[in-house]
Amino acid sequence: MTGSVTPAPTSHWPEYLIEAWALGTFMIAAGVCATLLEYPGSALHRRLADPGLRRGLAGVAMGLTAIAIIYSPWGKRSGAHMNPSVTLAFLSLGKVHGVDALFFVLAQFVGGVAGVLVVLALFGAAFSAPPVSYAATVPGGGGVGIAFAAEFLISAGLIFVILRMQASRRAAPFTGVVAGCLVAIYISLEAPLSGMSMNPARTFASAAPGLMWEHLWIYFTAPVAGMLAGAQLYRVLFHRVACAKLVHPDDVRCIHCGYEPPPGGLVAR
């Protein structure tokens, strides 16, 4: 599971579609959660007056969503990046083929937008109008500089932890759980600073329908730079880099390291 990446044949299209599905599903969950918790006409919003409590609940919901996607049969097949920053970090480490990285990123953008459009069709103005505003990620009261720095740091932290977990045989199966927990913590604590994106495709998906382009550059640069920096720091400190899948089961093929499950699903231990 630690070998070099293999050439990308046309048979990789199922993994590309899975990446679109993964971020699309995440965005549907994010949009539904944001509408239920932040739309003033929502009964849940009226019952939960404390914005910190609502943010904490949103964090738990989205962390669990990320974990469910990562450990789903489809998530185990593509690696469940769901994020161009993650894909580009693994590309920089030589763990993703360039063609696969290109189509992963394209699929993530398309899937994210599709997910937002599904929520828009379900909830209409309750989702698109302020304060929900398509569940957009925008800088908080600290301004653009704080938002950029926060996005950089949380992105670097996420990929560093993922790589460290993957490198341990005992810890590797729990990589997705830890990643989901970090998503929950970041939403609960960091969201007031930047909206908590770490993901250019996630931010674009919310910004595009509402034409909210003003701060898009932050979320296209800071998460990518943060994850590239975190990945390179990890490589300098620990050297060993595992496969680009967040979870690498023995019974599913891997387009990143070339692993193929043995016939009959029997795995030698």
Q: Is residue 7 part of a domain?
A: no
Q: Is residue 266 part of a domain?
A: no
**Spacing of C-alpha 230 from chain mean position:** 16
Q: Is residue 150 part of a domain?
A: yes
Q: Is residue 5 part of a domain?
A: no
Cis before 131 (ω within 30): yes
Instruction: List the domain range (segments joined by +) for residue 138.
Output: 12-261
Q: Is residue 203 part of a domain?
A: yes
Location of structure tokens 């382009």: 213
Residue positions counted in the chain: 269
Q: What is the pTM of this model?
A: 0.92
* Encoded tokens for 46: 């009226």
**Residue 209 phi, psi dihedral angles, 5° rounding:** -65, -30
Q: Is residue 29 part of a domain?
A: yes
Per-residue pLDDT of the chain (269 residues; tens, 9 = 90+): 444 455 555 689 999 999 999 999 999 999 999 999 999 999 999 999 999 999 999 999 999 999 999 999 999 999 999 999 999 999 999 999 999 999 999 999 999 999 999 999 999 999 999 999 999 999 999 999 999 999 999 999 999 999 999 999 899 999 999 999 999 999 999 999 999 999 999 999 999 998 999 999 999 999 999 999 999 999 999 988 999 999 999 999 999 998 988 876 544 43
**Residue 22's domain is classified under what CATH number?**
1.20.1080.10
Dihedral angle, C-alpha 240, 246, 248, 251, nearest 10 °: -160
Determine the Cα–Cα distance for residues 202 and 138; give it in Å rounded to an integer.
Answer: 12
Q: Is residue 82 part of a domain?
A: yes
Q: Is residue 4 part of a domain?
A: no
Number of domains in the chain: 1
213 exposure class (CB count in 10 Å sphere: 0-12, 13-18, 19+): exposed
